[in-house]
């Protein structure tokens, strides 16, 4: 079988490098949030930490493909690219919904989770069906590290992101209205995190110049830091914004 080598372009290197940065930061932040479970015994930290890692799953395949191409001069196969980037999307979101419904909608938790579980099953069946029939139905991989999704599949992914965005903002606003100063501050950081992430995620689907791509990826990384502050408010940060009387 003839192997076609691929030489990474400057744009590929820029894209791949910043994809790796987004993934690495999201994993570090997610693991640290999840580790709070062992300190406080609250399982919500496990699900929320995992959810943040999963929310950045879209940059996993470009990172893996970039590294593979650097080492072998062969990018990921399209089917594997789509599999890595999407198989865990509904699973991680389900974890997010589990934590949020437990915190905000305990009375409706079962109904909401059942409804989302149905969506999760539909998504996985749809994904594997398209992968089996023809991966190009999902989208087109451009080069080694960029992808253009089909309009229907993109809409499904955006719906998933929008769900996290809306529920996250709702929780943030509710926290901001708290009479507890620390909770209010956490809510503000979460509000910033969700706004900046949603903006960055949407902007990243557009064709970006070498100038704007790093800016958008940095915004995504900063959204993760704000997310971390929103759940695990470090004492030094707390002392900066909340003055003791």
Is 4 a domain residue?
Answer: no
Is 30 a domain residue?
Answer: yes
The CATH number assigned to the domain holding 171 equals: 1.20.1070
3-state secondary structure of 99: helix
The pLDDT of residue 173 is 97
Is 49 a domain residue?
Answer: yes
Query: Hey, CA dihedral for 140, 145, 151, 157, is it positive or negative?
Result: positive
The domain in which residue 88 lies consists of 10-241
- What pLDDT digit, counting tens, does each position of 56-73 carry? 999 999 999 999 999 999
Is 175 a domain residue?
Answer: yes
pLDDT band at 80 (very low <50, low <70, confident <90, very high): very high
The pLDDT of residue 229 is 98
Which tokens hold the place of 207?
A: 């064709």
What is the per-residue DSSP string for 143-179? TTTEEEE-HHHHHHHHHHHHHHHHHHHHHHHHHHT-S
The pLDDT of residue 3 is 59
pTM of the model: 0.93
- Looking at the structure of the chain, the number of domains it has is 1
- What pLDDT digit, counting tens, does each position of 48-58 carry? 999 999 999 99
Torsion, Cα 50 215 86 13, to 10 degrees, reads: -120
The pLDDT of residue 60 is 97
Is 126 a domain residue?
Answer: yes
Is 2 a domain residue?
Answer: no
Is 42 a domain residue?
Answer: yes
Maximum Cα–Cα distance for the chain, whole Å? Answer: 73
What number is the average pLDDT over the span 15-21?
97
Is 1 a domain residue?
Answer: no
């Amino acid at each position: 079988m003839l192997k076609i080598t691929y030489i990474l372009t400057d744009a590929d290197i820029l894209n791949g490098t910043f994809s790796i940065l987004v993934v690495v930061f999201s994993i570090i932040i997610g693991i640290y949030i999840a580790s709070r479970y062992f300190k406080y015994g609250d399982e919500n930290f496990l699900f929320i930490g995992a959810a943040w890692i999963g929310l950045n799953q879209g940059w996993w395949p470009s990172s893996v493909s970039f590294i593979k191409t650097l080492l072998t001069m062969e990018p990921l196969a399209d089917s594997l690219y789509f599999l890595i980037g999407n198989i865990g999307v509904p699973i991680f979101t389900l974890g997010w919904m589990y934590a949020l419904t437990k915190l905000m909608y305990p009375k409706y938790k079962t109904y909401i989770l059942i409804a989302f579980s149905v969506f999760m099953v539909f998504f996985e069946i749809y994904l594997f069906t398209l992968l089996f029939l023809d991966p190009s139905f999902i989208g087109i991989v451009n080069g080694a590290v960029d992808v253009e999704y089909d309009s229907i599949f993109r809409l499904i992914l955006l719906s998933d992101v929008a769900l996290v965005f809306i529920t996250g903002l709702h929780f943030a606003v509710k926290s901001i209205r708290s009479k507890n100063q620390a909770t209010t501050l956490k809510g503000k950081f979460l509000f910033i995190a969700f706004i900046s992430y949603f903006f960055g995620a949407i902007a990243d689907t557009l064709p970006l110049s070498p100038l704007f791509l790093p800016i958008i990826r940095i915004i995504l990384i900063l959204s993760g830091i704000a997310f971390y502050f929103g759940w695990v408010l470090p004492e030094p940060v707390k002392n900066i914004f909340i003055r003791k009387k």
